[in-house]
Amino acid sequence: MPTAIYMDWNATAPVRPEAQHAVAAALAFGGNPSSVHAFGRHARKTMEEARGRLADLVGAAAENVIFTSGGTEANVLAIGSRGERRLIVSAIEHDSVLRPARDAGAATIHVTQDGVVDLDHLRFLLEQDARPALVSLMLANNETGVIQPVAEAAKIAHDHGALVHCDAVQAIGRMPVDLAALDVDFLTLSGHKLGAPQGIGALVLGRAVAVAPLLLGGGQERGRRAGTENLPGIAGLGAALAALEPRETVQVGRMREVLERGLQEQDPAVTIFGAAAPRLLNTLCFAAGSMTAETAIMALDLAGIAVSAGSACSSGKVRPSHVVSAMGFDAATAARAIRVSLGHENTMAEVDAFLAAWSRIHGSRIQAPRNVDERVQPAA
């Protein structure tokens, strides 16, 4: 693989060795958790251990953990369980929330220029229409890493008789997530953002709310999600959760700090999105210079560094980040937004390599006299 430095952990994280081991063991073993014989019972035991571990981590009851095929399915499942409730979502949610929201004609909560949801606007939306609602608000944004005031939002929403769904896909493993403190009704998480394999996620219920199943059939997951469970995925998730180290987050935070400071030193005019808000320690979303993100990312890739523009799910289509746009930045700025997301396998040397590469790619341009650029570009 030509790329040597991976800084796109919010797109997907490498699978932790502990999870690889658990996946390999589950693949070797086989067994359908619904079978009553020894193979089935062993499979079920593995599954329930992982469920217990996940429940413990977020402070939920084990029977309230529903395994899904990933974060997208969990989000769609939660939103689809709202019944007759109307839908209120923040403007910076993931596409798997925004898409059903658009279909349902949902109201959208504004965010501030720092990328934090505007609680007064949420209150306004709840008071404007007396019908009961489901409010969907993510815990940490995938592009900017900005942490949302979910507990406060949940309090406001519950005071107005609303249910609350929280997409915690980017947050789990990168900050403490406590269901009791957040007091949300639905919590989404995804395996492959935290070192478990792709293809596994979960919807965790904060209390006994009814779920309208998307997949009907064999009655697995207490009738809330049919289909033979993805046992290697579940085993991998359990092992990845057990391997999480709070210490790693602190080290990642230090690297992000150095990265951020380095960028500011190279170009004092750099825009750091969400800089004034609490952010995940691993995420840095910025715009600098005049290059579009697409071009900059290509140049970085040639230099052996993998980063991203906006979220991977929509990166097939070249369009400015909806998150940065929602924060009130113009289209030109949104089109320059680059996301660097770090993980525990990154090193300070890699951060230095990024800064050196960035300086080569952008530095010359920033310092070049205006007419040099005009000479090489056709007159517009």
Partner 1 sequence: MSGFNPQLEIKARQAHMNTQAHMTMTNSNHALENRPKLPVYLDYQATTPCDPRVVQAMLPYFTEKFGNPHSRNHSYGWDAEEAVEKARAEIAALIGADEKEIIFTSGATESNNLAIKGVAHFQKDRKNHIITVATEHKCVLDSCRHLELEGFQVTYLPVMQNGLIDLEQLKAAITDKTAIVSVMAVNNEIGVIQPIAEIGAICRARGVYFHTDAAQAVGKIPLDVNAMKIDLLSISGHKIYGPKGIGALYVRRKPRVRMEALIHGGGQERGFRSGTLPTPLCVGLGEACAIARKEMGAEAERLKVLRDRLYNGLKARLPDIYLNGDPDRRIPGNLNVSFAYVEGEGLMMGIKELAVSSGSACTSASLEPSYVLRALGVEEELAHTSLRLGLGRFSTEQDVDYAIEHIVQAVTRLREMSPLWEMAQEGIDIKSIEWAEH
- Window 49-78: residues binding partner 1 (CB under 8 A): 68-73, 75-76
Residue 313 Cβ, how far from partner 1 at the closest point, in Å?
A: 3
User: Applying CB under 8 A, does 8 fall inside the site for partner 1?
Assistant: yes
Taking the least distance from each CB to partner 1, the nearer of 24 and 180 is: 24
Q: What is the DSSP string of 270-330?
A: -EETTTTS-B-TTEEEEE-SS--HHHHHHHHHHTTEE-BSS-GGGTTS----HHHHHTT--
Q: How far is CA 140 from CA 118, 200, 333, in A?
A: 15, 19, 22
Spatial CA neighbour of 361 closest among 284, 308, 292, 312: 292
* CB nearer to partner 1: pick between 112 and 314: 314
Using CB under 8 A as the binding rule, whether residue 361 contacts partner 1 is answered as: no
6 touches partner 1 (CB under 8 A) = yes
Which parts of 311-340 interact with partner 1 (CB under 8 A)? Answer: 312-316
Per rule CB under 8 A, is residue 357 in the interface with partner 1?
no
| Residue 46 or 277 having the CB closest to partner 1 | 46
From the centroid of its chain, how far is CA 229? 23
307 binds partner 1 (CB under 8 A): yes
Nearer to partner 1, 22 or 146 (CB): 22
Binder of partner 1 out of 148, 170, 220, 249 (CB under 8 A): 220
Choice from 180, 250, 276, 298 touching partner 1 (CB under 8 A)? 298
Binding residues among 119-178 for partner 1 as defined by CB under 8 A: none
- Rounded to the nearest 5 degrees, what angle is found at the Cα of 26, between the Cα atoms of 22 and 29? 140
Please report whether residue 282 would count as binding partner 1 according to CB under 8 A: no
Q: Pick between residue 246 and residue 316 the one whose CB is nearest to partner 1.
A: 316
Q: Does 39 sit near partner 1 (CB under 8 A)?
A: yes
How many helices and strands (H and E) does the chain possess? 15, 12
The percent of the chain in helix, strand and coil, each rounded to the nearest 5, is 45, 15, 40
Q: Which of 81, 96, 108, 341 is the binder for partner 1 (CB under 8 A)?
A: 96
Residue 204: CB atoms within 10 Å = 27
Phi and psi based region of residue 145 (left: phi greater than 0; alpha: psi -120 to 50; beta: remaining): left
Residue type, 307: V
Draw the binding track, 224-263, toward partner 1 (x: CB under 8 A; -: no contact).
--xxxxxxxx-x---x--xx--------------------
Query: Which residue is catalytic, options 119, 209, 303, 313?
Result: 313
Is residue 166 part of the annotated active site? The answer reads: no
Least distance (Å) from partner 1 to the CB of residue 370?
A: 29
Say whether residue 303 binds partner 1 (CB under 8 A).
no
Q: Counting beta carbons within 10 angstroms of the beta carbon of residue 128, is it exposed (0 to 12), middle (13 to 18) or buried (19 or more)?
A: exposed
Q: Which residues are catalytic?
A: 313
